[in-house]
A and B are shown apart, each in its own frame.
Chain A
Amino acid sequence: MIHFIAKRLVAMVVMMFLISVAAFVIIQLPPGDFLTTLVASMQQGSDVSQEQIAFLTRRFGLDQPLYIQYWRWISGILLEGDFGYSFQWKRPVAELIWDQLGFTMLLSLATLLFAWAISFPIGVYSAVKQYSIGDYIVTFIGFIGLAIPNFLLALVLMYIGFRYFGQSVGGLFSPEYRTAPWSWAKVWDLISHLWIPMIVIGAARTAELIRIMRANLLDELNKPYVTTARAKGLSEVRLILKYPIRIALNPFVSTVGWVLPSLVSGAVIVSVVLNLPTVGPLLLTSLQSQDMYLAGGFILLLSVLTLVGTIVSDILLAILDPRIRLE
């Protein structure tokens, strides 16, 4: 087990390095660099001084070759938690990033739990009652859920809310709580706002998980040991709960590795539509205005956190299923 975890951790470190390179490449991609953008914004009459430019040039080694720039950037992040400077907000990126990132991860994890909680019982039902009317309805809704782009679902829900309930759906807090300090009331307010983005982001993945659960369980239910158990006179509920579900659950858990990246992706785009205080809107504006240190910081952290989530799920799976450790 320790060997397994160690192997995964080494792989994770390598992956993180690659991700940081990818994020850095994205920062470097737009024509011109950080400095030219700054100078341009200075010419537009904004208050960036000559000394500031000189300082930033030195700080990020903008006059140096690329690998030194990369080193300055990544070592700043690792050693000092300095993600660079956002020219658009005129603040260090690190100050801007954490709140949004926290809400994004909260939203993604909540959605993941939601998707599991919904898809597990429905998937089991759908498999046990294969080809029943309920199964067909679930399958059909599942297909629709996969086909609707989540931002479209968000728009439609917002439209329905606006048209028939006369309220704007969106945000994570009611106006009175937006700037209020944390309290139980605020937490409750957050929870009452969380479910719409949760449904919107989770719809497609829930549909997918239902299909996986159904297929897994159907595979198990046709195996001889189930027939044996039935012949022995075991009650149907116990029969299904005892072994088939436990085995069908493994692939279900292992899917977290790719469900999490797609949920984070979904959270980014849905947040733009629903105007949630998560990474989405800020990442989009930073990309559009080529505020590249901010964008790069977001992409880096989103990817790294996703990776950490995946590793945690890998380890959980290894605890759950001993066979995986031996591979």
Chain B
Amino acid sequence: MTTELPSAVPETHPRTKGDTLPTVAARNSVADDIAESDAGTVVDVASQWQLMRWKFSRHKAAVVSLWIVAFIYFVGAFAEIIAPQDPNRTSGRHQYAPPMAIHFFAEDGSGFAPHVHDYSFETDPRTYRKTFVEDPEKVIPIALFVQGDTYHFWGLFEWNIHLIGPVEPRQPFYLLGTDRLGRDNISRIVHGTRVSMSIGLVGVAVSLVIGLILGGLSGYYGGRVDHAIQRTIEFLRSMPTIPLWMGLAAAIPLTWDPLAVYFMITVLLSLIGWTSLARETRGKVMSLKNEDFVTAARLDGVSEFRIITRQLLPAFMSHIIAVTTLAIPEMILAETALSFLGIGLRAPVVSWGVLLQEAQNVNTVATAPWLILPGVAVVIAVLALNFLGDGLRDAADPYSHN
């Protein structure tokens, strides 16, 4: 379908594969006006954004990933509502309880009545270890939008509605099991989503600002500035990052409040993260600064600042957005690794890495394999962001064909 759609082809990029596409001379920048040929026939012209959208939608994995990423951020944004209970609520009776299965129909056949089964305990006579068995006798009815633990939603107002949960508040309802203190695994993963996904965003935002400024300077002015910045980047990249992060993260005083630690960790991650963005920016600026439209602007007496913000920035922004998307998963992985080692984020902050810390030794994983599930969340998020970034990178340059 897409091949039949006429597209705008700038004069500077002659198509080699032009048999299916009409060669329309359109201006490179915005070509949303309808061009009329001599014969009076109307030729449709697609805007740059339209071309990008088409290109993006051709990358199926990226489109699917876009939805997954949107879903993950949605979960992160509405964590309090989506989580069935308070992530820090402990239960002495349910330590390392296995996941419960949802049953949709009543056992006596009386129709639709979603419920879970409470556990019965069996204690091993020799080891005294409790094992949990689902007891079909103990039915706990569940429903959507039920009242449960109260929470302060976005710091705005108190509320107690949860997307899913037991009809009777505070009855056990552990869809993905519990951890060592009997805290609900799924609630913790959902709350961890907010922290882990946002640390990627915040960290990348910081890196982006540094990377754009330094990369831009490096590419635009060249010479000594360029040399100095390039050597700095080389230096930072030649250091093994994990030991460096470990050293810096371990220096964060234990007495700091979790929010300050969170902020420090993002800054630490950006310390290395900006380098790749700066390199991309530099490359793009260097290739663009001698383009005709920039020279034209300069000859027109346009100020440096205006050339950078109005000519250069829009020209490579789409590319930078794609690269930025690819930098987010790296941040997420780094945060996870540091928190996993116990020198990143700290409890009571809940992130995927903090949760994985619970699964640090193989014996725990053997007794409670569900504690590895935050890791699955990490993998899904990172995969989706990688595919999305890949698709965006292709779309950023809609004229290339590979």
Contact residues in A for B369 (Cβ distance below 8 Å): 159
Contact residues in A for B239 (Cβ distance below 8 Å): 19, 22, 261, 303, 306
Q: How far is the CB of B84 from chain A (nearest CB, A)?
A: 25
Interface residue? A213 (CB, 8 A) = no
Q: How far is the CB of B380 from chain A (nearest CB, A)?
A: 8
Are A156 and B386 also in contact (CB < 8 A) when A258-B237, A265-B241, A273-B360 are? no
Q: How far is the CA of A298 from the CA of B386 in the complex (A)?
A: 33
Interface residue? A9 (CB, 8 A) = no
Q: How far is the CA of A310 from the CA of B235 in the complex (A)?
A: 11
Q: How far is the CA of A148 from the CA of B372 in the complex (A)?
A: 12
Q: How far is the CA of A44 from the CA of B202 in the complex (A)?
A: 42
Q: How far is the CB of B381 from chain A (nearest CB, A)?
A: 8
Residue-wise interface mask of B (339-365) relative to A, using a CB-CB cutoff of 8 A (1 in contact, 0 not): 011110000000000001001101001
Q: By the criterion of a CB under 8 Å from any partner CB, how many residues of chain A are at the interface?
A: 52
Contact residues in B for A303 (Cβ distance below 8 Å): 238-240, 243-244
Interface residue? B251 (CB, 8 A) = yes
CB pair B238–A257 under 8 Å, yes or no, is yes
Interface residue? A238 (CB, 8 A) = no
Contact residues in A for B372 (Cβ distance below 8 Å): 152, 155-156, 159
Q: How far is the CA of A303 from the CA of B240 in the complex (A)?
A: 6
Residue-wise interface mask of B (240-262) relative to A, using a CB-CB cutoff of 8 A (1 in contact, 0 not): 11111011101101000000000
CB pair A159–B366 under 8 Å, yes or no, is yes
Q: How far is the CA of A122 from the CA of B24 in the complex (A)?
A: 42
Contact residues in B for A257 (Cβ distance below 8 Å): 237-238
Are A15 and B238 also in contact (CB < 8 A) when A144-B379, A149-B378, A287-B343 are? yes
CB pair A151–B337 under 8 Å, yes or no, is yes
Interface positions, chain A 261-317, Cβ under 8 Å from B, are 261-262, 264-266, 268-269, 272-273, 279, 283-284, 287-288, 290, 295-296, 298-299, 302-303, 306-307, 310
Contact residues in B for A149 (Cβ distance below 8 Å): 333, 336-337, 340, 375, 378-379
Q: How far is the CA of A261 from the CA of B241 in the complex (A)?
A: 7
Q: How far is the CB of B260 from chain A (nearest CB, A)?
A: 14
CB pair B240–A302 under 8 Å, yes or no, is yes
Interface residue? B177 (CB, 8 A) = no
Interface positions, chain B 195-239, Cβ under 8 Å from A, are 231, 235, 237-239
Interface residue? A212 (CB, 8 A) = no
Interface residue? B285 (CB, 8 A) = no
Interface residue? A98 (CB, 8 A) = no
Residue-wise interface mask of B (86-124) relative to A, using a CB-CB cutoff of 8 A (1 in contact, 0 not): 000000000000000000000000000000000000000
**Contact of A22 (CB < 8 Å), options: B244, B246, B386:** B244
Interface residue? A168 (CB, 8 A) = yes
Interface residue? A200 (CB, 8 A) = no
Which of chain A's residues has its CB closest to B383's CB?
A147
CB pair B240–A306 under 8 Å, yes or no, is yes
CB pair B250–A143 under 8 Å, yes or no, is no
Residue-wise interface mask of A (8-21) relative to B, using a CB-CB cutoff of 8 A (1 in contact, 0 not): 00010001001100
Q: How far is the CA of A67 from the CA of B24 in the complex (A)?
A: 67
Interface core residue of A22, A170, A279, A310 (most chain B CB under 10 Å): A22
Interface residue? A158 (CB, 8 A) = yes
Contact residues in A for B383 (Cβ distance below 8 Å): 143-144, 147
Contact residues in A for B359 (Cβ distance below 8 Å): 155
Interface residue? B190 (CB, 8 A) = no
Contact residues in B for A279 (Cβ distance below 8 Å): 243
Q: How far is the CB of B334 from chain A (nearest CB, A)?
A: 9
Interface residue? B46 (CB, 8 A) = no
Are A295 and B333 also in contact (CB < 8 A) when A15-B235, A257-B238 are? no
Contact residues in A for B329 (Cβ distance below 8 Å): 147
Residue-wise interface mask of A (171-203) relative to B, using a CB-CB cutoff of 8 A (1 in contact, 0 not): 000000000000000000000000000000000
Which of chain A's residues has its CB closest to B340's CB?
A151
Are A155 and B362 also in contact (CB < 8 A) when A303-B239, A306-B240 are? yes
Are A269 and B248 also in contact (CB < 8 A) when A152-B372, A163-B366, A288-B343 are? no
Interface positions, chain A 1-34, Cβ under 8 Å from B, are 11, 15, 18-19, 22-23, 26, 29-31
Interface residue? B382 (CB, 8 A) = yes
CB pair B235–A18 under 8 Å, yes or no, is yes
Interface residue? A146 (CB, 8 A) = yes
Interface residue? B387 (CB, 8 A) = yes
Are A306 and B238 also in contact (CB < 8 A) when A26-B251, A149-B375, A299-B243 are? yes
CB pair B235–A147 under 8 Å, yes or no, is no
CB pair B356–A261 under 8 Å, yes or no, is no
CB pair A152–B247 under 8 Å, yes or no, is no
CB pair A147–B243 under 8 Å, yes or no, is no
Contact residues in B for A158 (Cβ distance below 8 Å): 362, 365
Residue-wise interface mask of A (127-155) relative to B, using a CB-CB cutoff of 8 A (1 in contact, 0 not): 00000000000000001101111011001
Q: How far is the CA of A302 from the CA of B360 in the complex (A)?
A: 25
Contact residues in B for A23 (Cβ distance below 8 Å): 247
Q: How far is the CB of A30 from chain B (nearest CB, A)?
A: 5
CB pair A159–B378 under 8 Å, yes or no, is no
Q: How far is the CB of B70 from chain A (nearest CB, A)?
A: 18
Contact residues in B for A89 (Cβ distance below 8 Å): none
Contact residues in B for A155 (Cβ distance below 8 Å): 359-360, 362, 365, 372, 375
Q: How far is the CA of A30 from the CA of B249 in the complex (A)?
A: 10
Contact residues in A for B382 (Cβ distance below 8 Å): 146-147
Interface residue? A225 (CB, 8 A) = no
Q: How far is the CA of A143 from the CA of B372 in the complex (A)?
A: 20
CB pair B238–A284 under 8 Å, yes or no, is no
Given A147-B329, A268-B243, A283-B246: 14 more A-B contacts, CB < 8 Å:
A11-B231, A15-B235, A146-B386, A147-B378, A149-B337, A149-B340, A149-B378, A156-B375, A159-B366, A168-B362, A268-B242, A295-B250, A303-B240, A303-B244
Q: Sorted from nearest, which 5 A-B pairs have the closest CB atoms?
A: A29-B251, A265-B242, A287-B250, A26-B247, A264-B240
**Residues of chain B at the chain A interface (Cβ within 8 Å):** 231, 235, 237-244, 246-248, 250-251, 253, 329, 333, 336-337, 340-343, 356, 359-360, 362, 365-366, 369, 372, 375, 378-379, 382-383, 386-387
25 example contacts (A-B, Cβ-Cβ < 8 A) are as follows A11-B231, A15-B238, A19-B239, A26-B244, A29-B247, A29-B251, A30-B250, A30-B253, A146-B382, A147-B383, A149-B337, A152-B379, A155-B359, A156-B375, A162-B366, A168-B362, A262-B240, A265-B243, A272-B341, A284-B341, A295-B247, A299-B243, A299-B244, A303-B243, A303-B244
